[in-house]
Structure 1
């Protein structure tokens, strides 16, 4: 499936998901009330008053030592199960793609079932099995009806798929071909290409520099023996977190966790990843015959456990994550240079970055980079206004509410809390910290964690003579 087809399909799925969520809203209302203190929509509350976001998360460890997080949510007769495993691409070593291939091979057969039989069994029970690979972790998920006649056989199948995959040679060769074709397609998609080149420069010499989906050379070099070794070393009870949310009794949740945990190979947790090295400043341009030039700017920033984490999240919102953000106002509304600016704070376990992306007419590539650098210098010098900070905190809170609005999203949030060793009331603590920030506190945090001398600029587009920026346009948001 090429990128255009994939994005079109994702758009259709998104529309269907909205329709399905609307249909289920009345059924799930009781569960929402119980889980989140009666909050049913961000529009129903005064975001500046930041009332408490309640999450009744229960936690324990299985007999094999796996941490479990569980939220009872009885609104729908379903449950979501996620394993978040410390087996991301940072563990690839010399074969980038080993992590992605391993998790993608799980449902390609076990000792007792082949690929088609596994797919048929999940489909027969109306279940959804999915996998996801990232830099720090991989995730394996199951969404199922909670009735025993569905739950028990599906959990047993899920445990066998995750704990005892066949990792067969024929399936490996087929999947390698599929992943190599996907990599080729992805490299022609500008956001993917830009991100990979950016990480290669920003995290040079560190595993984060490699794409989480691997490289053509790495994928080609992966052997079946390497898959088995990687699986036995990383898919262990103490190297993952099990998260559950849905219509389950506590004893049922414990039984699910034990079934999964007992099926895994024995072994310890993986050691921590080394911190990222100091970044070197870089300005790179890749020539492509595009109508527009895509630009990304990034700086090294804080990790997930840094005390300034929330302040840096707020800073990214202030700069470019909404129509009234500072960079969006200047580049789009005042100058008409771009459709929009996206600022993203990307924290990892062993490093992090603040990334800013925009597209621009090729002749204004260098001038737009200079303008953004100048605006960042001003932001570091003066910080945000109180009005800007109030809006950013509202958006930060809206994002938090959205992340727990439905079970499929909430289980991922809970999983991240467990995997990253955060306290169970982490979402509420973040809100309290965000609403305690002052403009000066944000300014100081940004100055502690953003070094403009280590900026990395990556641009992709045609080589054309560069021109100074055009005159300011008399455009305001109200005129659009």
Structure 2
């Protein structure tokens, strides 16, 4: 047993140097899409099952998707959480799960030796196909969620993030925290969870990603075993499109502390959009490239107003977000926000230069090998390609897409998508910098 754990730890720490992977795709008999990469560098197999069953499917029962997902490995096929954990430990396998705004995830990492592989896949199949949802586990996890919600209220970054998403999305499902609210969590019953599971944890709502030390024949068997344990079900309807933001709002939340957490945000684009890589490069230059980004240079390096200043885009099934943020000492809040606003406005008005584009392209292309230097990273891409129905050559064409972006194109994208006049503002701290004096 100790040898298995030692081997697993060493393998988990190993990064694999390899060319961009060749992805194979097929469908199970019930219709689940499978994405597979065969690689024999290390004796490991990684599996990720992704369901369209996350927070955006909560309806009015906020938090039910995350609660359902968290309950999967607490009891299944007559085994309790401790028995499941012991069985996994005995074969050196690791099972994890999570539920975000878009996707609900179950991951397995196991040794590729036949005994360990078969046993771990059996456990995985039972966890997703035969969850017990025991009443005592439901109540236990509900208490955990309530404690987590209490803790979130004591963290300025969590408060600001939740408030910004609500300001941007209003009543759209993306505007609600996947963790729910005290009221919604208290009101969710075991029957509600079972109903949610039966509707969303079905083959038509699932994709499977597999990478590792096995053949396609073995991968087909694994996918079929997972597939056979679930109902075929019905593919869920697409999300509604978020409403366009028509005006800026300024939101202040009082929070004791020595710093202000400042976030600005707006809608951006959905995953797979034709303008994604141009917008990604634009954000990379503006605030997504660390110390060399424009926002960091203006806010931190030139003026020393913040240790952390950044921006990011987060495309999802439907229109995602473009977020700009910083943390600063309370007394610097107004000045730091002014600099951030001015930086965004100037970026929108003037766009970027050819030298900035050239540098950003070089950074992205030179870092290409890091995208696929481990099975874990490749698994993430496989799951993303499957869930968002991206082209099979997505990973292999990133560099080509980046190289083909022209200066005129990226500046046009900046003008089109960046909306300084419609930004949503959130400030969390002790100073209301929006108050009229």
Using the size of structure 1 for normalisation, the TM-score is: 0.85
Query: Cα offset for 1:376?
Result: 1.6
Alpha carbons 1:55, 1:425 under 8 Å: kept: no
Q: Which residue of 1 aligns with 2:66?
A: 100
Determine the C-alpha separation between the residues in 1 that align with 2:179 and 2:26.
32
Query: Cα offset for 1:222?
Result: 1.1
When residues 23 and 291 of structure 1 are mapped into structure 2, their CA distance, relative to the original with a 3 A threshold, is closer
Q: Which residue of 1 aligns with 2:30?
A: 64
Q: Which residue of 1 aligns with 2:253?
A: 286
Query: Cα offset for 1:117?
Result: 1.0
1:390-429 alignment runs, 5 A limit: 390-397=358-365, 400-429=368-397
Secondary structure of the residue aligned to 2:37 is strand
> Is 1:453 aligned with 2:421?
yes
Q: Which residue of 2 aligns with 1:177?
A: 143
Determine the C-alpha separation between the residues in 1 that align with 2:306 and 2:365.
27
Query: Cα offset for 1:464?
Result: 6.9
Higher relative contact order (CA 8 A, sep 6+): 2
Runs of 4+ in 1 over 4 A off after TM superposition: 19-23
Query: Cα offset for 1:427?
Result: 2.1
Determine the C-alpha separation between the residues in 1 that align with 2:157 and 2:280.
21
Determine the C-alpha separation between the residues in 2 that align with 1:184 and 1:214.
12
When residues 72 and 234 of structure 1 are mapped into structure 2, their CA distance, relative to the original with a 3 A threshold, is same
Q: Which residue of 1 aligns with 2:129?
A: 163
Secondary structure of the residue aligned to 2:42 is coil
Aligned pair partner of 2:42 in 76, 85, 88: 76
Alpha carbons 2:205, 2:235 under 8 Å: kept: yes
1:120-199 alignment runs, 5 A limit: 120-199=86-165
> Is 1:203 aligned with 2:169?
yes
When residues 461 and 175 of structure 1 are mapped into structure 2, their CA distance, relative to the original with a 3 A threshold, is same
Alpha carbons 2:348, 2:420 under 8 Å: kept: no
Query: Cα offset for 1:363?
Result: 2.7
Secondary structure of the residue aligned to 2:292 is coil
Determine the C-alpha separation between the residues in 2 that align with 1:217 and 1:413.
36
Aligned pair partner of 2:411 in 443, 451, 454: 443
Q: Which moved more, 1:423-432 or 1:264-273?
A: 423-432
Alpha carbons 2:45, 2:214 under 8 Å: kept: yes
When residues 22 and 238 of structure 1 are mapped into structure 2, their CA distance, relative to the original with a 3 A threshold, is closer
1:361-376 alignment runs, 5 A limit: 361-376=329-344
Secondary structure of the residue aligned to 1:219 is helix
Number of aligned pairs? 426
Determine the C-alpha separation between the residues in 2 that align with 1:222 and 1:415.
29
Determine the C-alpha separation between the residues in 2 that align with 1:70 and 1:293.
46
> Is 1:298 aligned with 2:279?
no
Query: Cα offset for 1:317?
Result: 1.0
> Is 1:346 aligned with 2:292?
no
Q: Which residue of 2 aligns with 1:118?
A: 84
Determine the C-alpha separation between the residues in 2 that align with 1:90 and 1:417.
19
Q: Which residue of 1 aligns with 2:3?
A: none
Residue by residue over 1:158-205, the C-alpha shift from the partner in whole angstroms, topping out at 9 and shown as x without a partner, is 101101100111100001111111121122222211110000110001
* Aligned-residue CA RMSD (Å): 2.0
Determine the C-alpha separation between the residues in 2 that align with 1:187 and 1:248.
46
Q: Give structure 1 stretches of 5+ with no counterpart.
A: 1-15, 37-53, 467-480
Secondary structure of the residue aligned to 2:227 is helix
Residue by residue over 1:367-390, the C-alpha shift from the partner in whole angstroms, topping out at 9 and shown as x without a partner, is 322322222221122211222222
Residue by residue over 1:42-72, the C-alpha shift from the partner in whole angstroms, topping out at 9 and shown as x without a partner, is xxxxxxxxxxxx3200000011111000000
Q: Which residue of 2 aligns with 1:360?
A: 328
Alpha carbons 1:363, 1:464 under 8 Å: kept: no
> Is 1:333 aligned with 2:334?
no
Residue by residue over 1:326-363, the C-alpha shift from the partner in whole angstroms, topping out at 9 and shown as x without a partner, is 11111111111111311111111111111011112223
Alpha carbons 1:205, 1:277 under 8 Å: kept: no
Q: Which residue of 2 aligns with 1:8?
A: none
Q: Which moved more, 1:406-415 or 1:364-373?
A: 364-373
